[in-house]
């Protein structure tokens, strides 16, 4: 799965892994246009605090909408470039964005794969660790679905946080709960 680089890697660092839909932006379902992309309250503050503490910031996102033909990779990448610029304007350099365009039931030829990168499989996390030389036990992950946490656990990410305030799904046992991104920031950084 491709990654997008915006900064040179610094080996040995911990990372803050962020899911995209439902963590960075409100999950409106197959979000692929700027006009539908609304940043979640507190996301810039959370990412900025991670940067301030020397963590790499890495986005890991399932984008089955590509395989399902809702939008294509150039559209996803254009939206990603815009998103990265918005983060930069907020003082946050996101190191990489990993995305999985596949789905076992994808309609677009070539994307119909049960791949090792689609969460809950850990492939995007292990690729990031390899590419950036990350310390996974010292790293953190924030997701809004049990599959995010499962991927993190499978990769050996040390701190897993599930965003939201519903009951903890059984598959996400071992994660901590943050009702919103301000609570997540407090939980991870005490700030
Ligand atoms: Mg999500």
- 151: CA distance to ligand 1 center in Å? 12
Q: Is the pLDDT of residue 6 over 60?
A: no
* Cα–ligand 1 centroid distance for 172 (angstroms): 14
Residue 69's pLDDT is what? 96
* Rounded distance from Cα 29 to ligand 1 centre (Å): 10
* pLDDT classification of 170: cutoffs 50, 70, 90: confident
**Model confidence pLDDT, tens digit, residues 56-105:** 999 999 999 999 999 999 999 999 999 999 999 999 999 999 999 999 99
- Given the residues 21, 95, 144, 148, the one annotated as active site: 21
pLDDT at 11: 65
Confidence of residue 191 (pLDDT cuts 50, 70, 90): confident
Q: What is the pLDDT of residue 101?
A: 97
Strands in 96-100's sheet, in edge-to-edge order, are: 3-5, 96-100, 56-62, 15-18, 140-143, 159-163, 176-178
C-alpha triplet 167, 168, 174: angle, nearest 5°: 160
Determine whether 180 is an active site residue. Answer: no
Active site residue 135: no
pLDDT tens-digit series, residues 18-46: 999 999 999 999 999 999 999 999 999 99
Q: What is the pLDDT averaged over residues 162-174?
A: 89
Q: Could you list which residues have their CB under 5 Å from ion ligand 1?
A: 19, 21-22, 144
Average pLDDT over residues 169-190: 94
Options 3.40.50.300, 3.40.190.10, 3.40.1500.10, 3.40.50.1000; CATH of 3-189: 3.40.50.1000
**pLDDT value at residue 3:** 55
Domain ranges of the chain: 3-189
């Amino acid at each position: 799965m491709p990654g997008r680089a915006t900064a040179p890697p610094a080996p040995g660092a911990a990372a803050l892994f962020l899911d995209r839909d439902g963590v960075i932006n409100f999950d409106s379902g197959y979000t692929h246009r700027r006009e539908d992309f609304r940043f979640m309250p507190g996301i810039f503050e959370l990412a900025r605090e991670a940067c301030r503490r020397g963590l790499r910031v890495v986005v890991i996102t399932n984008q089955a909408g590509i395989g399902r033909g809702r939008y294509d990779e150039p559209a996803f990448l254009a939206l990603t470039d815009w998103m990265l610029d918005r983060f930069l304007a907020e003082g946050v350099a996101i190191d990489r964005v990993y995305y999985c365009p596949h789905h076992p039931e994808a309609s677009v030829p070539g994307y119909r794969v049960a791949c090792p990168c689609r969460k809950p499989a850990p492939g995007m996390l292990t690729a990031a660790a390899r590419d950036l030389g990350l310390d996974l036990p010292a790293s953190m992950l924030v997701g809004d679905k049990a599959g995010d946490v499962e991927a993190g656990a499978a990769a050996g990410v040390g701190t897993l946080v599930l965003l939201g305030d519903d009951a903890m799904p059984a598959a996400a046992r071992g994660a901590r709960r943050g009702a919103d991104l301000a609570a997540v920031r407090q939980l991870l950084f005490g700030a």
